[in-house]
Structure 1
């Protein structure tokens, strides 16, 4: 099984007044991320044992109809950030991670996850591991749960959501489409036993165990390109 060209580009330190910032482009989707803090947390949210993380997602053309979508991305990114950071190093403090969606042409949740990870790297916080995320579309014929024959391609599956992620599925016109976003741990993080493990995931529908394993396998092949892009981005700053 071959990996798919993600057309992934990234930059660090793009915002001057942030502790850490990044810009990520996946296909035509573009996201800016900026971190402010750590500052003393407000009394209402203060945690005396660990760092408080506030995640906010904004869209240039934000409408009330997209409120639920932005909220789900915030929760997804928030859970990933909490798992990556050593929170006990900053008790009673708080950081704010702001994600600005510049262009949304699909796979925007994965784009936000990657931008958040790069902003954390740029900020210099101690991290347990780094992550890379991709979005996939799982297509199966109506009334069928078998995915024995799998092909990878790029298709516009839902113009109203403007999704252009990786595609797994059949050529049959009668099909059920589900969008899966997976964030995977860096293969070199904490030894080989944790390589490629799923840190967080989101799916627009239900998945069988076999389907989830297949999505994870394909995602593992694809995120290698993203981790390589991380390394190239860091080399530009160091050198």
Structure 2
């Protein structure tokens, strides 16, 4: 497991030009994200797994050869799962992040699981979000079902894509491209009935607003102020 510093610049590429870790391509000098990825892949055991936290930009960047490195990683069938996470999970930064699961000897060869968990979790205070045990169990069970080959896609939440399908998306790994948008339950209330209900509710809100306006004017006048 690893949570490397995001988008680290000046990481010393000039001193590591011929490093054997860059078998999938030389990472750019200005961003170490793909250097971290290649470093960890290089050290993977034959059936090893990585759980890696990265900034979202690594999913789609094409800068300075990063897209080509990502293509080679995908074509090597190393990406087992990608999970898009919501904002405010960290105490140091508020940006959303992505979990990469990189595996040698995947149980589902030629396939990758995409999960969009951006709407999951709950706010524990004004600045910080956390996952409940139910949230964690749902994610874990989804991954387990994928590995067993029993997972069914859930619109807006999870989808399984083949390497060919990822190639058709220009090797971009953003989960939203694969899971789509959650289907909302159809509203079967007739239009005329809905409009009658909504206008009645709105009329009541307007009446309450006028009552509050008069009450505020009265209270202000009582202390010597008058709204012009």
| TM-score bin (small chain) | under 0.3
Higher relative contact order (CA 8 A, sep 6+): 1
What is the TM-score with the length of structure 1 in the denominator? Answer: 0.24
Select the structure of larger CA radius of gyration. Answer: 2
More strand by share: 1
What is the TM-score with the length of structure 2 in the denominator? Answer: 0.25
